[in-house]
Amino acid sequence: MSAYDRLDAKLRHIHALESISGLLEWDEQTLLPADSADQRQNQSAALAQVIHQAQADPEIGTLLDELETQNPEPETQNSADSIGPIIRDARKTYDRATRLPSSFVERHARLCSEAYHAWAKAREEDDFPSYAPYLQQHLDLAKERAEHLGWGDRPYDLQIELHDPGIDTETVDRLFTQLKTDLAPLAQEILSIPSKTAPDLFTGFPIDRQESFLKEVTTSLGFNYKRGRIDTSLHPFCAGNGADTRMTTRFDEDNPLDSLFSSIHETGHGLYEQGLPLDSLHNALGTAAGMGVHESQSRIWENQVCRSRTFWNHYEPKFRVAFPQRLASVSSEDLYQAINAVSRNPIRVDSDEVTYNLHIIIRFETERKLFSGELAIADLPAYWNAQYEELLDIHPTSNAQGVLQDVHWSGGAFGYFPSYTLGNMLAAQLWYAAQAQLPSLDADIGNGNFAPLLDWLRKKIHRHGARYHLLELTEKATGQTLSPTHLLRYLRERYLA
Amino acid sequence: MSAYDRLDAKLRHIHALESISGLLEWDEQTLLPADSADQRQNQSAALAQVIHQAQADPEIGTLLDELETQNPEPETQNSADSIGPIIRDARKTYDRATRLPSSFVERHARLCSEAYHAWAKAREEDDFPSYAPYLQQHLDLAKERAEHLGWGDRPYDLQIELHDPGIDTETVDRLFTQLKTDLAPLAQEILSIPSKTAPDLFTGFPIDRQESFLKEVTTSLGFNYKRGRIDTSLHPFCAGNGADTRMTTRFDEDNPLDSLFSSIHETGHGLYEQGLPLDSLHNALGTAAGMGVHESQSRIWENQVCRSRTFWNHYEPKFRVAFPQRLASVSSEDLYQAINAVSRNPIRVDSDEVTYNLHIIIRFETERKLFSGELAIADLPAYWNAQYEELLDIHPTSNAQGVLQDVHWSGGAFGYFPSYTLGNMLAAQLWYAAQAQLPSLDADIGNGNFAPLLDWLRKKIHRHGARYHLLELTEKATGQTLSPTHLLRYLRERYLA
């Protein structure tokens, strides 16, 4: 067996174990009996240990040394060659697995578990000080990780890189500053239009019909239910991979749009996973390019496609067939307004696509200042609230409604938030590129034919896996560098036209 | 850390990985999307490799050597001491993991996969000859396994031991010969009573009500749904362990008794798992004593308890509340007869508790002759059909209805079948012992109070884990050696009274 074949077998083994880990997490959030979490923790810990051993297998190091000699310059991100990106990503995983001491991995896992429970309790009791020490430990561990991995002088860059390879703080800062300059006044302008608030129209939508309607929609978008499922969980998510994609949604009889748009959002993630090359899920060619690219795929379907008038011209009659009595008194315009409502909401996950990115910009600036030392953990609540006041004219009435609202930091996931807005920017940029390249795109969507857009995304984004990073992919797909102008244009057209 | 503590940590690690393997199998049979089986195969193979590595960890051998020196005679099955059984079982697992070459393990896994598909095809096409070579390979591999593990002169004993530790061919033969002598004529006598056949009473029982009724029943039997679930699968089974017990059933609108009794049967298995000491699931103290004991726990609830008049005196009114229209024309006597119907059925899994054990005796004698060389694979169909004719007056019209009906041999699981009848014998013996020791047992069951019987089984069977084997447990629980007389008495009382 060649060195490449031996590496390939090891990567397949690691990927199989990692995909099991994903299934354990999915099961935990969908089906796990109430009192069985203790065993799930033991299972996840045992599997994490086994995965780390497999990733740090010294033979992988030897094989990589050999392959890197045979294939010089595997570091070149632009390499069109297949083996280059595979070796590059395998090297990254191997180096990270071997450079992080197992004592660090254990401390981090323990802190994640403790901090999660501390966060949940602090949020419930609106008690930031009880959570602050865990945040401090996570910040310290993130800096320690950066030391181990050779990023000691720029730990926040590493945090961003962990979620979006190829992106750094300076790039995010430049893009977000441009975006914020125009978005802050635009959001205020849209928020001042009274008709943009959500009408209170929806009660008593039977859940079984919500479920069959969203299955009809997500199937027509292209989700392959022969290699996937949709179940329910407290918070919607998409787990698994293209070989077995597990989405979730949640149902509320009085909020049918929530389950529908949650499932459309997760379908966007699922379509990306299902569009990655199935025979390469274990290496860079079948791996997502990062969280930002992933989010662009969920958002383009959720927002640009499925909140559009064109989409609802096709689906409104079907929606009315599914709920004839419930929608009898709802006008078409009311329905469209409800789908595109905008409001001042202190909670990021409940906010609309206009204000959402301001929530993210606040988080990015907060994280950057935490890592630079400009902001102390103890001063977080005051800083947070001041930012919300300035940018969004929102005055959180509690820390539970403010700095305690997100789960991310309890898992040490600093640097994750920027991906959401990078994804929103890319989604809008892809949308206009697709419109330019597919003259019948609007007509197709109006006919419920989503295959042309999906095929375009498959060709421009999905099939490349992690071969290119977000900025490279953006240029290749749209012919332009990543820019917030497309998102701003889209928001103006959608909300001010 | 002491040698024992180090062994304990390793056993916990192995158990966590094994329990993940169980979850993968459960998910495969309940939820896995239709086209995702390819990834599940890769996941299961990767996990099996990791489990085998963990079981064969040389440090376990060193620790066992040390602990065996400190704790002489750990082989004594009767040891009341806790460490003895733990060391004994850990030694058995370690020796088997290290003595079986990985090439054997791989060949066996590959054969199981190939033979399963060959069996499914052969059964569908009624084509025994196409399956025969796989059976021969499984027989050869079983003998090779026996050589590796030091059982070369008695490979069928090993097969029985793999399913029921402490039991050998001679013991099964002696018990089954006694049973058969009286059961064959008893079955013929019962089968000659016309009223014993099932009345055709059941159509259109809504599945959601079947589900809520069986949840009511299984909850009242004592199944803890906070540490377990019931879902649907093609064939009912019970997976997981006491920390997270996953039962399945199946639903048919025209056969509500099938889903009900399937779920009661699996609840019996689940109650046993949930009764094993939760903090010892990773060692012998929290492990089931064998398949025979496991089956005794499913059968005592399914048959002795839940097919009784006493049980139905309590549950018939509730059953009628769940299905008022469907049961309006069904008399109490008809219902009871349907629950206790007896008939000549060529299919084991569809047969009643009277004829069931004759199906098993045929399989035991067949397997024994295959291993001794008295019977060749090519002669299996003729031998099978002759046995069915002689013992049950059943004339299979095809091999699909005959020797091809069971999945077991396609996985090389020779020696599994005897467990079913050993379990039936033990169930009846436990039933009479419980009646003798719990004077109000009948009254309790008639009041829907199953806690006294469950507590008795917890005390007599569950809490001992694998400390004692089937024959020892029988004596401890009932004061008598295992004997078929109790099963025969029970069948006479139930079907001839």
* B66 flagged as catalytic: no
Tell me: do B173 and B63 sit in the same domain: no
Domain end call among B99, B120, B149:
B99
Cα Rg of chain A (Å, integer): 23
A-B contacts at Cβ under 8 angstroms: 96
8 A C-beta contact, residue B126 and residue B381: no
| Assigned domain for B109 exists | no
Does A32 reach chain B within 8 Å, measured CB to CB?
yes
Q: Indicate if A86 and A134 belong to the same structural domain.
A: no
Q: How many CB atoms lie within 10 A of CB A181?
A: 12
B77 pLDDT band, cuts 50/70/90, is: very low
Is residue A109 one of the residues assigned to a domain? no
Q: How far is CA B220 from the centre of its chain?
A: 22
Asked whether the beta carbons of B342 and B196 are under 8 A apart, the reply is yes
pLDDT band of B70, cuts 50, 70, 90: confident
Whichever domain contains B317, its CATH number is: 1.10.1370.30
Best probe of the A interface among B26, B27, B28, B31, by most A CBs < 10 A, is: B31
Q: Which of B161, B170, B189, B266 is catalytic?
A: B266
Q: Is the pLDDT of residue B448 over 50?
A: yes
Question: Over chain A (497 residues), what is each successive 10-residue block's mean pLDDT?
Answer: 96 98 95 94 94 97 96 55 92 96 89 92 97 98 97 97 97 98 97 81 94 98 98 95 98 96 98 98 98 98 98 97 94 94 95 97 98 98 97 96 96 97 98 98 98 98 97 98 98 94
| B264 belongs to a structural domain | yes
Mean pLDDT lowest among A89-93, B71-75, B293-297, B399-403: B71-75
Whether A286 and A278 have beta carbons less than 8 Å apart is answered as yes
Answer whether A273's CB lies under 8 Å from A462's CB.
no
Q: Do the domain assignments include residue B406?
A: yes
Supply the DSSP string of B265-325, one letter for each residue: HHHHHHHHHHHS-GGGTTSGGGS-S-HHHHHHHHHIIIIIITTSHHHHHHHHHHHHHHSTT
Interface ipTM: 0.93
Beta strands in A188-332 (DSSP E): 228-232, 238-241, 244-249
Strand partners, A244: A241
The amino acid that residue A262 corresponds to is S
Short-list A161, A175, A113, A166, CA closest to A138? A113
Q: How far is B362 from chain A (nearest CA, A)?
A: 40
**Which of B21, B36, B106, B280 should be substituted to probe chain A, the one whose Cβ sees the most A Cβ atoms within 10 Å?**
B36
| Alpha carbon A478 to chain centroid, angstroms | 21
Asked if residue B94 and residue B136 are part of one domain, the reply reads no
Residue A88's domain comprises 3-99
Identify whether residues B183 and B42 lie together within a single domain.
no
Are the CB atoms for B162 and B145 separated by under 8 Å?
no
Co-location of A56 and A170 in the same domain: no
Q: Contact, B235 vs B266, CB < 8 A?
A: no
A382/B contact by beta carbon, under 8 A: no
Kindly state whether residues B88 and B133 are assigned to the same domain: no
Spatial distance between the Cα atoms of B145 and B147, rounded to a whole number of angstroms: 5
Chain segment B233-249, per-residue pLDDT in tens: 999 999 999 999 999 99
Residues A58 and A164 in one domain: no
Instruction: Look at A65-74, A121-130, B26-35, B149-158 and tell me which has the smallest mean pLDDT.
Output: A65-74
B72, B148: one domain: no
Within this chain, do residues A331 and A376 fall inside the same structural domain, yes or no? yes
How far apart CA A115 and CA A131 sit, in angstroms, is: 7
In whole angstroms, give the CA distance from residue B296 to residue B421.
9
Distant-in-sequence, close-in-space partners of B256: CB < 8 Å, separation ≥ 6: B202, B205, B210, B213, B323
- Same domain for B310 and B218? yes
Q: How many domains does chain B have?
A: 2
Distance CA(A100)–CA(A397), nearest Å, equals 41
Whether residue A367 contacts residue A414, with contact meaning beta carbons closer than 8 Å, is answered with yes
Residue with token string 């969908």: A30
Nearest CA in chain B to A228: B33
Residue A427 sits at the vertex; the CA angle it makes with A425 and A431, to the nearest 5 degrees, is 120
Calculate how close chain A gets to B466, using CA atoms only, in Å. 21
- Domain assignment present for residue B366? The answer is yes
A72 burial (CB, 10 Å; 0-12 / 13-18 / 19+) is exposed
**Residues A149, A94 share a domain:** no
* Mutation target vs A (from B21, B43, B47; most A CBs, 10 A cutoff): B43
Say if CB B220 and CB B237 are below 8 A apart: no
In a domain, B123, yes or no: no
Higher local confidence (pLDDT), B78 or B323? B323
Residue A147 domain flag: yes
Judge: A23–B19 Cβ closer than 8 Å, yes or no: no
Q: Tell me, what's the pLDDT at A77?
A: 47
Report d(CA A482, CA A470) in Å as an integer.
9
In terms of CA atoms, which chain A residue is nearest residue B44? A16
* Per-residue confidence (pLDDT) for residue A196, from 0 to 100: 77
Establish if A116 belongs to a structural domain. Answer: no
Across chain B, what does the average pLDDT equal?
A: 95
- Residues A356, A463, single domain; the answer is yes
Q: Do B35 and A227 touch (CB under 8 A)?
A: yes
Please determine, for residue B78, whether its predicted confidence score (pLDDT) is greater than 60. no
A246: phi then psi, degrees, rounded to nearest 5: -115, 105
Using CB atoms, pick whichever of B38, B39, B243 lies closest to residue A36. Answer: B243
